[in-house]
Structure 1
Amino acid sequence: MAKRIDYYDDPDAPAANSLVPSVNVVVTNDAGDLLMIRRTDNDNWAVPGGAIDLGESIPQAAIRETLEETGVLCEITGLSGTYSDPRHVILYTSDGEVRQEFSLVLVGRAISGEPTPSDESREVRWVPREQVTSLRMDRSMRMRIEHYLSGTSSPHIG
């Protein structure tokens, strides 16, 4: 099975060979819970997201990726942060691609649908805010979520 391996500030990490603009979305419901997925490629928890396709706007990609991975339709309500640290690279074992981190993290509100697993998510569920950081996740995802949860009014730029 193809895997995703995240490296951060690791001298043994492979050199990046691509840069792919992507989005992640912190989606909340009326109770304030966060929509979380357990990824099939590394078994870590994350907010939904993925690459922006040619011909798509940033919000369109965010809505599409969220729906594909979770079964939940959302609307985009804001920007939580930008993440482009070259010390974070992601190896995709299926083809040897090594991406430098490049992610825009948006904020969204659920409109309809029920959490439903997909090819990319083995589990999808609403998680209360106070329980989110207890889930197993990659360091960069934890940083993104903690920034959102901090309630800082200005987006993270990094």
Structure 2
Amino acid sequence: MDWQPHITVATVIEDQGRFLLVEEMAEGRAVFNQPAGHLDANESLLQAAIRETLEETGWDVELTGVTGIYLYTAPSNGVTYQRVCFAGKALRHHPEYTLDHGIIGPCWLTRDELAAQPERWRSELVVRCIDDYLSGHCFPLSLIRD
């Protein structure tokens, strides 16, 4: 059996109680997710998180810590993902930036606004990462070794 987990990164970016999320199309429906994506070849996890956030939201961010490392098997396709989720802060928005294919756009929601719409979560990791962040789970960036 050839089993390979997919390495992904995500960011939890909070500003005054609202979280930067991505509204995107997945399996024919509009869903919410953290800015997230796959690690590219010859790229560090930190570089990937910064790149994916820009590509999906048009925001430059500064990473401030590691919220958690998650192992998740998607029930829709059986693929296993290892997600490294970073905390960070928004620095600068580039409204003219061309977002990745399938991205409807960035949005800022409170945890309660997001929690009220579970049918629109890309996966349960969306709220879990925010809850871990809100619980104070933040490890130093030095946890990640290139």
Normalising by the smaller structure, the TM-score range is: 0.7 to 0.9
Long gaps (5+) in structure 2: 141-146
In structure 2, the residue matched to 1:24 is 10
Inter-CA distance 110–153: structure 2 relative to 1 (3 Å threshold) = closer
Deviations 1:106-130 (A, max 9, x none): 0011010156754232131112344
Distance 2:105 2:48 in 1: 21
Q: Normalising by structure 2, report the TM-score.
A: 0.76
In structure 1, the residue matched to 2:125 is 140
Distance 1:104 1:35 in 2: 17
**Matched residue of 2:79: which SS?**
strand
Inter-CA distance 53–83: structure 2 relative to 1 (3 Å threshold) = same
Compute the RMSD of aligned alpha carbons: 2.6
The 8 Å contact of residues 68 and 137 in structure 2, kept in 1 or not, is answered as: no
Structure 1 residue 101 displacement after superposition: 1.9
The 8 Å contact of residues 16 and 100 in structure 1, kept in 2 or not, is answered as: no
**Matched residue of 1:101: which SS?**
strand
Distance 2:26 2:89 in 1: 26
Correspondence 1:105-144 to 2 at 5 A: 105-114=85-94, 118-135=100-117, 136-137=120-121, 138-144=123-129
Aligned length: 133
Q: Amino acid of the residue matched to residue 80 of structure 1?
A: T
Distance 1:153 1:68 in 2: 24
1:79 aligns to 2:66 (yes or no): yes
In structure 1, the residue matched to 2:45 is 58
Inter-CA distance 130–56: structure 2 relative to 1 (3 Å threshold) = same
Distance 1:153 1:69 in 2: 23
Distance 1:66 1:153 in 2: 19
Correspondence 1:2-13 to 2 at 5 A: none
1:37 aligns to 2:22 (yes or no): yes
Q: Which has the higher helix share?
A: 2
Distance 1:17 1:128 in 2: 37
1:89 aligns to 2:74 (yes or no): yes
After alignment, is 135-144 or 110-119 more displaced? 110-119
Q: Amino acid of the residue matched to residue 132 of structure 2?
A: H
Deviations 1:16-61 (A, max 9, x none): 84312110100123x2421011121242211101011111111100
